[in-house]
Structure 1
Amino acid sequence: MRVDIEDLGVAYAGRAVVSGVGLLAADGEIAGLVGPNGSGKSTVLRTVYRHLRPVAGRVLLDGTDLRELSPARTARHVAALPQERGGDFELTVREVVAMGRTPYKRAFAGDDAADRDTVARALAEVGMAEQSGRRFSALSGGERQRVLLARAFAQDPDVLVLDEPTNHLDVRHQVDLLALLRAARRTTLVSLHDLNAAASVCDRLHVLHAGSVVASGPPREVLTPELLADVFGVRAAVVEHPLTGDPLIAFDQRGPVGGDFDHGEPARGDFDQPEPVPPERGANP
């Protein structure tokens, strides 16, 4: 399933945060959103899984405007792993993952054999099958991340929307997760802070800065020393990874461009925003 975002605008408290954003993820493609904190990555992704309603533009799934679909139908197509994790679930790991089957059920319907098989497969994919009986609230941050990813897989979506999915994961599990995304070949929109990870896993990158897309294309074409200096305020060389051949960014750790941490506009974390506009009723969790 192809995702097109056209001329998207989002405002918080009457102030434009994202403006004129256009990007795409082709069918089966992993499209990465990268950019400094506060550049609008999370805001754009929240419109795709209907947590935010844009004030301008539209999101298309295979040419159909998202606004024409009910929240339940959207949830059958789009599964999200947002940054906002919510509170602790007093549920077992298996019960949390089984929540991904909700869009396919009538109210109060129990799990059938197909549901149980899907949940078991999703747990195995993220390496949490042996933990299925544990309480979610007792897990480490990295384990919770893997369980919530399994919940998204159990939803059996056409499109995955992942906001910083490698947060809280150690190096081994970061590598495993990115390999899993490559193998799944679902249409995926993913935001990543780690530019080398983005260069490795993404077929296409969209670079956001100050609420707008400033570059799009294959990682090898997008991640240039000039862009890294202009957008991220860092000095870096881009070379070929000796093992994979992917672009590898070698940062100058001695200081940012110009030796001043105030390069460009002050960065704001994506959560340092005014109160957002209300989510759509029945929005995908």
Structure 2
Amino acid sequence: MRIDIEDLSVAYAGRTVVAGAHLVAAEGEITGLVGPNGSGKSTLLRTVYRHLTPTAGRVLLAGTDLRELSAVRSARHVAALPQERQSEFELTVHEVVAMGRTPYKRAFAGDDAADRDIVARALADVGMAAAAGRRFTALSGGERQRVLLARAFCQDPDVLVLDEPTNHLDIRHQVELLALLRAQRRTTLVSLHDLNAAASVCDRLHVLHAGAVIASGPPREVLIPALLAEVFGVRAAVVDHPLTGDPLIAFDHRAPAGTETPAPAEVPTGG
């Protein structure tokens, strides 16, 4: 299913955080949101999974305004992995993941064989099958992240909304998670701080700055040195990744944009 965000404005804590945003998440593609802290990425995503209500504009799911859908119907179509997460589940990993089946059940109904198969498959997909009987509260941050992603998979959604899904993950599990998202081929709207990960996994990027979408397009067209300097305040060169051919951003870690790169220190020679 396709997501269309039309002229969206969202206020949070008494101020406008997103103003007049337009963007599309095409069916079956991974659409990335990138931008500095405070640019409105998380706020925009919260309106897609209905945690926040827009002050203007709308979010369309396959042409239907999300506000016209019941909470249950919406949950059957859209699953989210937000940044803000409850961490005090006194439940096992299996029980947490099985919560993803709630939109398909009558009140107080137990799991059937099909539900148990779906839960097992989701845990296997995120590499947490062996932890099914462990307490959620006993897991590391990265393990919790993978369990909550499995819960989202269990909803069998048409659309995944992921807010910084690689947070807390080591490099191996970051790579595995992003590869899993590619293999899923669900309509996916994801915010990422790692611009190189975004360039690798996303079909299309939208750049947010001060609550507005200021650039949209394929990663190679969007992640150019001038934009990186303007939006992120960094000096960078964009080259081809030697292994994948994706755009690879090489940052100048010695100086921000608008300054001269310090000259290398002279190495004393004997004599």
Query: Which bin holds the TM-score, normalised by the shorter protein?
Result: over 0.9
Q: Deviations over 1:15-57 (max 9, x none)?
A: 2111000111111000000000000000000000000000000
In structure 1, what is the equivalent of residue 111 of structure 2? 111
Cα shift at 1:61: 0.4
Match of 2:61 in 1: 61
Residue 226 (structure 1) aligned with residue 226 (structure 2)? yes
Does residue 41 (structure 1) correspond to residue 41 (structure 2)? The answer is yes
Distance 2:69 2:257 in 1: 46
Q: Which amino acid aligns with 1:245?
A: G
Match of 1:138 in 2: 138
What is the CA distance between 1:258 and its match in structure 2?
A: 2.6
Per-residue deviation, residues 222-268 of structure 1 (Å, max 9, x unmatched): 000000000000000000001000000000000211349xxxxxxxx
Q: For residue 98 of structure 1, what is the aligned residue in structure 2?
A: 98
The answer as to 2:11 corresponding to 1:11 is yes
The TM-score normalised by the length of structure 1 is 0.90
Q: Distance in 2 between matches of 1:83 and 1:14?
A: 21
- 2:265 aligned partner: none
Match of 2:72?
Answer: 72
Question: CA separation in 1, counterparts of 2:60 and 2:15?
Answer: 24
Question: Does the residue aligned with 2:86 lie in a helix, a strand or coil?
Answer: coil
Looking at structure 2, the residues matched to 161 and 62 of structure 1 have their Cα atoms a distance apart, in angstroms, of 15
For 1:250 and 1:13, the matched residues in 2 are separated by 36
Gaps of 5+ in 2: 261-271
- Give 1:81 deviation, angstroms: 0.2
Q: Could you say what secondary structure the match of 2:84 adopts?
A: coil
* Equivalent position amino acid for 1:131 in 2: A
Distance 2:195 2:87 in 1: 29
Q: Secondary structure at the match of 1:127?
A: coil
Return the offset for 1:13.
4.1
SS at match of 2:6: strand
The secondary structure found in structure 2 opposite 1:242 is coil
Q: Distance in 2 between matches of 1:124 and 1:43?
A: 31
| Aligned amino acid, residue 25 of structure 1 | A
Q: Which has the higher contact order (CA 8 A, sep 6+)?
A: 1
| Aligned positions, number | 260
Give 1:258's aligned residue: 258
After TM superposition, which residue ranges in structure 1, 4 or more long, deviate above 4 angstroms? none
Q: Deviations over 1:73-123 (max 9, x none)?
A: 000000000000113211000000000000000100000111001000000
Give the AA of the match of 1:177. Answer: L
Q: Unpaired segments of 5 or more residues in structure 1?
A: 261-285
Per the alignment, in what secondary structure is the counterpart of residue 255 of structure 2? Answer: coil
1: CA distance, partners of 2:21 / 2:67: 17
Q: Which amino acid aligns with 2:107?
A: A
